Homo-oligomer: A and B are copies of this chain.
Amino acid sequence: MLSWTKISWLRSLHQKKYRDAESVFLVEGEKGVIEGFQSTLTCQALFATQSFLQSHAHIIADLDVFEASADDLKKAGSFETNQAAIAVFEQYAQPENPKPDTDAAIYLDQVKDPGNLGTIVRLADWYGLKQIFLSPGCVDFYNPKAIASTMGSFAHVVPVKADADWLEANAKTNLIGADMQGVNIHRFIFPEHFILVMGSESHGINDQLAKRLTDKVNIPKFGQAESLNVAMATGIILDNWKRQQTA
């Protein structure tokens, strides 16, 4: 049985201020925990059922390991569903001079929904991007719902805090944003290097950022829906980019 101290500690890590104070975050569920172990991330502690520990003995050699019942894990976790494991990983270090290390990068401006953030991290991973640039005001990368929505991709994509000044400094790279008045994405010629700027769910790209865009693109619509979700739009734009790059 897990002590109440341990459960309380894990529960405190549902909140950003406690995660940041210790520079750690929670990964809940078998798949995510294993992805974390197979990555460059450092695990501080693992809480898992006996059966998880038996099946994965090889990955837990040098760790603080605590056997826990499914019930304890449910109490300690942030989801309603039963999990076989919860791990505490150290957060990624923020680079001193962040810069895109792939031809394309994504910059999210005030994306508030953890599900959207997680889905975009999963997309970034699908399309081979190694980083995700996040403006002040974005939901925390380490939010448990965001981590869960990445479906393990939190282990392959590094979050980088960045702001409008950073974007300005990188403006030698093309800045592409989605805009109803933009060029049809099906006809758009992607530059060799670019940062794709995606705005908040409710307000899109803010005016100050919009002025700095070098290219505006539009996903053509054929029906009545008012908009696409920010994650969906990101996915469709990235697919169009890769289609062109590999044509």
- Identify the A interface with B (CB < 8 A): 115, 119, 122-129, 151-153, 156, 186, 219-229, 231-232, 235-236, 239-240, 242-243, 246-247
Contact = CB atoms under 8 A, between A and B. Distances in A.
Report which residue of A153, A232, A242, A246 has the largest number of chain B beta carbons within 10 angstroms of its beta carbon. A232
A163 to B, nearest CB: 26
B156 A225 contact: yes
Given A228-B235, A236-B235, A239-B236, A222 B127 contact: yes
Given A240-B239, A246-B186, A156 B226 contact: no
Nearest to A245: B222
Contact of A223 (B126, B222, B235): B126
Contact of A225 (B153, B224, B232): B153
Contacts of A223: 124-129, 156
